[in-house]
Amino acid sequence: MSKRVQLLVGTNKGIFIYSSTTERRNWSMQGPFLPGWEAYSVLGDTRTASTLYAGTSHAAYGATIRVSSNGGETWEQIADSPRYTEESGFSLNRIWQLVPGLSSQPGTLFAGVEEAGLFVSRDNGQTWQELDGLTKHPTRPEWFPGAGGMCLHTILIDPRNSQRMWIGISAVGVFRTLDGGISWKPCNNGLNRIPTGQPDERVGYCVHKMVLDPENSDVLYMQEHSGVFKSIDGGDSWHPIEEGLTLREGDAPFGFPISISPTGDLFLIPLESSEQRSMRDGKLIVYRMARGEHTWKPIGDVLPEEERHVSVLRDAMAVDSLEPYGLYFGTTSGEIYCSLDRGESWERLPGQLSRILTVKPMILED
Who wins on pLDDT, 118 or 195? 118
pLDDT recorded at residue 334: 97
pLDDT recorded at residue 178: 99
pLDDT recorded at residue 304: 66
Average pLDDT over all residues of the chain: 92
How far apart are the C-alpha atoms of 166 and 275, rounded to whole Å?
A: 28
How far apart are the C-alpha atoms of 29 and 132, rounded to whole Å?
A: 40
**Kind of pairing, strands 14-21 and 28-33?**
antiparallel
Place 259 in a pLDDT band, splitting at 50, 70 and 90.
very high
pLDDT recorded at residue 162: 97
pLDDT recorded at residue 300: 78
Range of the domain at 242: 3-365
pLDDT recorded at residue 150: 92
Over range 167-192, report the average pLDDT: 97
Whole-structure pTM value: 0.95
Place 21 in a pLDDT band, splitting at 50, 70 and 90.
very high
What is the tens place of the pLDDT at every residue in 35-78? 999 999 999 998 877 899 999 999 999 999 999 999 999 999 99
The pairs formed by 285-292 with CB atoms below 8 angstroms and a separation of 24 or more are 286/327, 286/329, 286/339, 286/343, 287/244, 287/245, 288/342, 288/343, 289/241, 289/244, 289/265, 290/265, 290/266, 290/342, 291/263, 291/264, 291/265, 292/264
* Contact predicate 312/330, CB 8 Å: yes
Place 6 in a pLDDT band, splitting at 50, 70 and 90.
very high
Q: Which residues pair with 98 in a beta bridge?
A: 111
What is the tens place of the pLDDT at every residue in 275-329? 555 566 667 889 999 999 999 999 976 666 667 778 899 999 999 999 999 999 9
pLDDT recorded at residue 310: 83
pLDDT recorded at residue 274: 57
pLDDT recorded at residue 273: 57
State the CATH number of the domain containing residue 253.
Answer: 2.130.10.10
* Contact predicate 96/114, CB 8 Å: yes
Structural domains of the chain, count: 1
pLDDT recorded at residue 2: 86
pLDDT recorded at residue 234: 98
Asked whether the predicted pLDDT for residue 250 surpasses 70, the reply is no
pLDDT recorded at residue 279: 65
DSSP-assigned letters across all residues of 236-262: S--EE--TT----TT----EEEEEE-T
What is the tens place of the pLDDT at every residue in 104-149? 999 999 999 999 999 999 999 999 999 999 999 999 999 988 777 8
Asked whether the predicted pLDDT for residue 215 surpasses 70, the reply is yes
